[in-house]
Amino acid sequence: MVSLEEIITTLVLPILVGVILSFILTYLIEVRSRRRKRQMQSLIEKFETDEVPAETMISQALESENEDRKAAFIILVVDVERQLRELAFSIVGSQKPRPISDIVNLLIEQGILDEKWRSSFKSLWDIRSRVIHGLDATDSEIRVGTMLAASLKLDLERIRKKRKQELPSSKFEVYKDAAGKFRWRLKAPNGEILAVSEAYESKIACANSIEAVRRHFPVAEIQYLNE
């Protein structure tokens, strides 16, 4: 007759050890994945401030393991979408949300983006949609998508710098309203008023509120009126 001790030794103990090792291995993999994702995010943030060359960022993304490479790819795509929306807003002002494909078409029609953007962005967005929705996206497609996203991102950076040199910037005007309270209004380069703030008791509070939205208009000037 098999004793309880033998059952534990031959059956239960190996299973228990296997479960514990499986948990430890899963935890270590998750920790490593999170660390690499943080490193990739940090690298991209440094790239945005010109601290890291584009070639380094792209190389790091392509050399990452599969799941990390997907994360890096999505971060790049999100940044491309953000820059496209900010570029469109700076041109046409405040409008209701619209699909990103419509924004690309609008910028092409305005002559801001080159016609090549149409097919390049479509290819990028197709890969992005499959990754986001958990559909099949091969390692090769992720690599192509990363290169496309990085290329379009660099193109947007060039456009932004060129527009900054060629066009007058938007500006925040701080002024006193009829009640003597401080407000700011955001004016587009063509003089159109894009937004008006709520009323503030002090000039400092009004100026501080500008910082909450100024990241979308980094080159916008601040002018103080009624002084």
| Model confidence pLDDT, tens digit, residues 61-112 | 556 555 567 777 887 888 888 888 888 877 666 556 788 888 899 888 888 8
**Summary count for the chain: helices (H), strands (E):** 8, 4
How far apart CA 174 and CA 226 sit, in angstroms, is 9
Which pTM value belongs to this model?
0.51
DSSP structural state of residue 210 = H
Helix (H, G, I), strand (E, B) or coil at 224: strand
Pick the CATH number of 54-166 from 2.50.20, 1.20.120, 1.10.3470, 3.20.20: 1.20.120
Domain boundaries, the chain: 54-166, 171-224
Which residue blocks in 110-180 are alpha helix, DSSP H? Answer: 117-132, 139-166
**∠152-114-53 over CA atoms, to 5°?**
30
Is CATH 3.20.20.70 what the domain over 171-224 is classified as, yes or no? no
Ranges of the chain whose pLDDT falls below 70: 1-18, 29, 32-68, 91-96, 164-169, 215-219, 226-227
Residues contacting residue 209 through CB under 8 Å, at least 6 positions apart: 184, 197, 198, 200
